[in-house]
């Protein structure tokens, strides 16, 4: 009787452990997909700002600070040297102080005005 009980308990524990592992792997896959999407969006935003600023010929200080912050997050996500070169170009642009306007093209900035 004890042997059957031990087998049943072992089977239950193994089943629960298997279910937990499957669930954990599913969450990891979802997180990896989300992280990759965020990484791509950040890289794309920095690239777009680089193109805009190279045409503009200068950078507002607030824009530079926002891009530096965005770049810091990009690097922490494993960003490579390509964006580092873009940031160097941006940081070498003449800087201007904003006069009452944000001057940034980041779509969410108007929410903080």
Per-residue pLDDT of 57-105, as tens digits, reads 999 999 999 999 999 988 988 887 889 999 999 999 999 997 665 544 4
Look up residue 16 and give its two tokens: 């629960």
pTM: 0.64
Boundaries of domain holding 72: 2-98
Residue 27 counted as domain residue: yes
Number of domains in the chain: 1
Residue 89 counted as domain residue: yes
CA distance 1 to 104: 74
Residue 10 counted as domain residue: yes
What is the separation, in whole angstroms, between the first and last Cα of the chain? 73
What does 9-62 look like in DSSP terms, one character per residue? HHHHHHHHHHHHHHHHHHHHHHHHHHHHHHHHHHHHHHHHHHHHHHHH-SEEHH
86 half-sphere exposure, CB direction, 13 A CA radius: 24
């Amino acid at each position: 009787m004890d042997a059957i009980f031990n087998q049943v308990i072992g089977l239950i524990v193994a089943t629960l452990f298997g279910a937990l592992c499957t669930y954990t792997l599913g969450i990891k896959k979802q997180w990896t997909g989300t992280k990759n999407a965020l990484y791509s969006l950040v890289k794309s935003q920095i690239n777009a700002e680089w193109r805009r600023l190279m045409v503009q010929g200068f950078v507002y200080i607030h824009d530079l600070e926002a891009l530096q912050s965005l770049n810091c997050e990009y690097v922490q996500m494993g960003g490579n040297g390509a964006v580092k070169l873009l940031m160097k170009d941006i940081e070498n642009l003449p800087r201007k102080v904003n006069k009452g306007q944000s001057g940034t093209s980041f779509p969410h900035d108007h929410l903080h005005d």
